[in-house]
Structure 1
Amino acid sequence: MLPVQAKELLSMIRKPRGAWLFLAFLALSAGTAAAHDADPENKATSTATVDTGVLKGAPYRVDIPAHWNGDLVMQLHGFEPIGTPRPAPRPPGEEASPFLAAGYALAQSSYASQGWAVDDALRDNERLRAWFVRRHGQPRHTYVVGFSMGGYVVLASLEHHGRHYDGGLSLCGANVPGTRVFDDILTSVVAFDYFFPRTPGLPPGGLADPAAPALGQMEVMHAVDAALQTDKHAAQLLATHLHVSRERLAGAIGVHYLVLHQMQQRAKGMPVDNRATVYAGFGDDAAFNRGVRRYAGDPQAMRYLAVATSLSGKIHKPLVLQYNHDDFLIPVRYQPVYPAMVQSAHGRAPTLLPSVGEGHCGFAPEQIMQAFQTLTREASGGPTG
């Protein structure tokens, strides 16, 4: 049995976990946003209004409580593996409950594509916001809240469309430029390939091999976990370098494999290049650098990644960041990166809250709402403590 069950891990990519599962884990102007797809379904009852449909290929759901306070929350989910079934119409998700109970309208896009779809997420979220305004009226305040990959899109939304938002909340977010995320992901999989070559059940050329056939996530995780058992010293070296607890290491490597290969599909080539990378921290570094597999990045794919996943730090609206303890997908070293970018860009400094919960997006509902209340207080000019 895996340290983290494969089925559970798949849900954790997109969902925060607390007392119950909480759905989450990964640019057009308002004037050009338009709906040209299936007619929306708009249901009004004595308790709520539900508006579902598809905008430019992106399923969406809008929930407005009967006691609407006039404010809107745009909520961004995280990474959704390519091929994950999508029910229609889009279900509300358990994450809607605390916001709706507090009187907030909630708008959620499923994005037009799956995978590390941050560019689609940015466009589709903005399109849905503009659609909400046209269909339901201008909210008093609009906030953007995202989890994991969606947390990154919160930052991009404030950078590109900040005039439309009163503030943003990024929870367990991948709050660094995508080039850094994928450099680290490549390091993870090539390091595994170095220490555990020719692992049964995995491609002969290694997990990072662009020519390898796609494998299922559960299949990869089982093979990785079995290999880690054969060399506990190498497994601990990997865990230490990747800032992951040993029991979560197989899960982290399995997700890294999945995200890297799906980004190769999206970018139409290898989006990172490690031919000149000098690695350190893997024991005998000289031997590691001689023996680790090297990959040439595809120039077009690398340009796509650099443009689609860029961040500038130029924000001027309130931003609240919060992470989890022992998050096997968002390492602690990422936490100071975006605040430093904002400082360099002379933007408005974000508020970094103390970490809570365990694992990736391990927030309880009340913790999410406490972080959100910090954002609303800051946006209104009140104290954040």
Structure 2
Amino acid sequence: MACKTWRNVMGRWLIVAMCSATASLPVYAAKPAPGSYTGTLQGALYRIDVPDHWNGDLIVLMHGYQPVGAPVSTPMTPADATPWLLKKGFAVAQSQYASQGWAVSDAIADTERLRQYFVKTYEQPAHTYLYGFSLGGMEVAASIERYPHTYSGALITCGLTVSTPQILDEGVVTLLVAFDALIPGVIPDLASPESPPMISPDAIASAVAAHPKEAAILAKRLEERVETLPTLALYYMVLREIEKRAGGMPVDNRKEVYKGFGDDAAFNRSVHRYSASAGAATYARNNVTLTGHVEVPVVMQWNAFDQTIPERFHAVYPSQIKAAGRGKWLTVLDPVGEGHCEFTEEQTVTAIETLVQKASAH
């Protein structure tokens, strides 16, 4: 879900064993020469960039949601932040992942495979940091929970750091059924195999313009702006893609009591109700449910207004970390800017430097 506006939101190991009578010691290849290295690891494109004056540290990037079928460049192109990180002396590694869409499992596995590839092909970095944005934020959180002593720290910006079942319920289905209840005729049946894989943002925009009162209620309750409500087209596409992966509807809202949509009694009578497929609900929990159990410094930052990941979700993972008794590892930077993942070079570098400082302190 890394993008600039709602219109482009749909479109932006070698260890060699030396055996002796007493021990087997790993031997690493020579320090990588400056330059870019690209290739494929088990179906996932990757890119490694090494600056002229490498500081010995590696940053592993995890990118955001990429719609299924979106064009992919071969060789893999660098992320927007790569030049900024290279200027600070970091080597940067990033995987395209073996699949697109809600590729959480692939993202975690492919990124860990790439990290191991770097260590075995080149050398063990002095420090390895994990950096993810948007959906990559969830993948970073899941990765540091799964591999607690692998990284020196993690940076999450504009991150979707909410477990999949919760984000699907509160952040996707709630929005879609609310829109359908207040402005009918635009959102297709969310569970029907006959419903299209996506809907046009323009159709939502036209409906919003024709129903200003209802649009204002939706925008206020969903922490959106009237003009950003077409982002719901992204949520619909994500849900349909997850349903395809999971084999059914992952959310059950039959007993949900919705509040904050005007006449709540009338709203709850009219809202469309769905039953979840047990297999799909299990898929959602497995891909993924976060716990907050972190063992390395985590720095997080959001944009002050984010139409894709609204403010009501920003405190979810920080609260989980604190509830798990891991609050000493957490740093949340002040929000900046407006839009989804709208950070300047200076802001990104400051966040990285904060992470390095926190990691050094531990």
What TM-score does the superposition give when structure 2 sets the normalisation length?
0.90
**Distance of 1:310 and 1:210 partners within structure 2:** 26
Residue 8 (structure 2) pairs with residue 8 (structure 1): yes
Residue 353 (structure 2) pairs with residue 373 (structure 1): yes
**Distance of 2:85 and 2:114 partners within structure 1:** 18
Distance 1:175 1:6, change over 3 A: closer
Give the conservation status (yes or no) of the 8 Å contact 2:56–2:125: yes
Q: Which one of the candidate residues 306, 310, 313 is aligned to 1:331?
A: 310
Deviates more, 1:328-337 or 1:126-135: 328-337
Aligned to 2:182: 195
Output aligned runs, 1:59-208, within 5 Å. Answer: 59-184=45-170, 185-199=172-186, 203=188, 205=189, 208=190
Partner deviation per Cα, 1:6-55 (whole Å, 9 max, x = no partner): 643335xx5xxxxxxxxxxxxxxx799xxxxxxxxxxx998x22221111
Partner deviation per Cα, 1:202-229 (whole Å, 9 max, x = no partner): 64x4xx243243244xx52011110111
User: Secondary structure at the residue paired with 2:148?
Assistant: helix
Aligned to 2:42: 56
Give the conservation status (yes or no) of the 8 Å contact 2:6–2:228: no
The RMSD of aligned alpha carbons is 2.1
Aligned to 1:277: 256
User: Secondary structure at the residue paired with 1:132?
Assistant: helix
User: Secondary structure at the residue paired with 1:354?
Assistant: coil
**Distance of 1:299 and 1:45 partners within structure 2:** 48
User: What letter matches 1:188 in structure 2?
Assistant: L
**Distance of 1:240 and 1:70 partners within structure 2:** 48
User: Secondary structure at the residue paired with 1:144?
Assistant: strand
Partner deviation per Cα, 1:276-326 (whole Å, 9 max, x = no partner): 111111111111111111111110010010111111111010000000021
Q: How many residues align?
A: 342
Aligned to 2:227: 247
Partner deviation per Cα, 1:153-205 (whole Å, 9 max, x = no partner): 11111111121100000000011111111002001111111112223xx64x4
Deviates more, 1:330-339 or 1:225-234: 330-339
**Distance of 2:252 and 2:182 partners within structure 1:** 20
Distance 1:173 1:89, change over 3 A: same
Give the conservation status (yes or no) of the 8 Å contact 2:197–2:240: no
Residue 305 (structure 2) pairs with residue 318 (structure 1): no
Give the conservation status (yes or no) of the 8 Å contact 1:324–1:360: yes
User: What letter matches 2:239 in structure 1?
Assistant: L
Which consecutive unaligned segments of at least 5 residues does structure 2 have? 16-30
Q: CA deviation at 1:266?
A: 1.4
**Distance of 1:148 and 1:6 partners within structure 2:** 14
Distance 1:292 1:31, change over 3 A: farther
**Distance of 1:337 and 1:273 partners within structure 2:** 21
User: Secondary structure at the residue paired with 1:123?
Assistant: helix
User: Secondary structure at the residue paired with 1:53?
Assistant: strand
Residue 189 (structure 2) pairs with residue 210 (structure 1): no
**Distance of 1:58 and 1:128 partners within structure 2:** 9
Q: Which one of the candidate residues 219, 230, 241 is aligned to 2:210?
A: 230
Instruction: Extract structure 1 runs of 4+ deviating beyond 2 A.
Output: 4-11, 208-216
**Distance of 2:354 and 2:60 partners within structure 1:** 17
Q: CA deviation at 1:74?
A: 0.2
Give the conservation status (yes or no) of the 8 Å contact 1:321–1:353: yes
Q: CA deviation at 1:349?
A: 3.7
Aligned to 2:24: none
**Distance of 1:362 and 1:373 partners within structure 2:** 18
What TM-score does the superposition give when structure 1 sets the normalisation length?
0.85
**Distance of 2:106 and 2:216 partners within structure 1:** 37
Give the conservation status (yes or no) of the 8 Å contact 1:343–1:349: no
**Distance of 1:318 and 1:6 partners within structure 2:** 32
Aligned to 1:36: none
User: What letter matches 2:273 in structure 1?
Assistant: R
Give the conservation status (yes or no) of the 8 Å contact 2:59–2:92: yes
Distance 1:162 1:45, change over 3 A: closer
User: Secondary structure at the residue paired with 2:210?
Assistant: coil
**Distance of 2:38 and 2:195 partners within structure 1:** 37
Which consecutive unaligned segments of at least 5 residues does structure 1 have? 15-29, 33-43
Give the conservation status (yes or no) of the 8 Å contact 2:14–2:117: no
Aligned to 1:220: 200
Identity in percent: 41
**Distance of 2:309 and 2:293 partners within structure 1:** 22
User: Secondary structure at the residue paired with 2:268?
Assistant: helix
Give the conservation status (yes or no) of the 8 Å contact 2:14–2:119: no
Aligned to 1:308: 287
**Distance of 1:169 and 1:93 partners within structure 2:** 15
Aligned to 2:237: 258
